[in-house]
Structure 1
Amino acid sequence: MIDPFPPTLNLRIGPNCQPPVLPTYFSYQEEHNSFARATRRCVGACRRRDSNKGIMCPSYMATNEEKHSTRGRARLLFEMLHGGPIDDLWRSAEVEDTLDLCLGCEGCKSDCPVQVDMATYKAEFCASLQGPLAPHVQPIPWA
C-alpha cells in the first residue's frame, strides 16, 4: 500500500523555500523587492468572498468562480513562481486567463487585511509577458 503524508503536514512554506528571483518592472519594497514574496501575501483568509462587506472583486461577483477571486489569482501566481503545477512562468496560459478578467480596480487592496494588490500583480505579469515596450517614435515627414 501507500504511506501518504498526514493532511496537516506541509501546510506552510518552509524556511528553506527558495523561489526564483526574477527581474520585475515594479518595486516590491515591503517584500524585499521580491515578486515571489509579494504573491505570498494572500493567506487565503477568504474575506473577499463575503459579498456583504466592503468592495468585492467585480469579476468574481460576475462569475462566482474561485479562479477569478483575489485568493484564486494569488494562488495561481504562487504556484507559477514556486514550481507547482504551473511551471511555465510568464508564459502560463492559466495565469493569463485568470488575470484577464481583473479590472485593476484595487478593491482587493483596500479591503484585504494584508492589502493584496492584484492590479499591480496583473500589471507585472502582463509587462513580463509582453516584454519591454519600446516607444513608437516616428519622424514627422513634414518637419
Structure 2
Amino acid sequence: MDHRAARRLGAAGPSAAVFAGDDRSRTPAEGETVVPARRSQDERWAVNLAAARQFHGREGHLIVPRKHVETITVDADGGQEAVKLGAFVDNSRRRASKLSNQRRAALDELSALVAGDTGAIARLAADAISCVLGPDESRVG
C-alpha cells in the first residue's frame, strides 16, 4: 500500500508524529542541541528595556552606538543574554509613532529618566570639545 492509499484509509504517515507534537515530548539525546522556545514580542521588549535601563544606570546617558551589544542578567540563576541595544534604541526612536500606547509610555518613562539627568548631553559635548581643542581652549568666558 502506498502513502496515498494509507491516507485515504485514515492511516497516519511517518510525519504525522512530528506534526502531532509527539517529537517535542521526548528528552534530548546526549550531545543533541536544544533550541530554546521563542520569546514573545512583549518578553523581548521587556528585556530590551531592562538593557536600556542598565546602560543608562552605568553610563549616565542613552546615546548608544548602533552596533552596541549590552549583556544583561535575565534570570535568578545568573543566566546572561546579549541584547543588541544600539539597534533597539535606534529603531525605537525611528518607529515611536507606530508603537502601542503602553510601549510609548515605557519609552516616555525612560526618556524622562534620561532627561532628568540635566546636562548629560552638554557634558558629553564639552568632553568632545575638550578632546579636540584641549581643556584650556574649550572654555568660553
Q: Quick check: which has more Rg, 1 or 2?
A: 2
Q: TM-score, normalised by structure 1?
A: 0.28
Between structures 1 and 2, the one with greater helix share: 2
Q: TM-score, normalised by structure 2?
A: 0.28
- Higher RCO (C-alpha 8 Å, min separation 6): 1
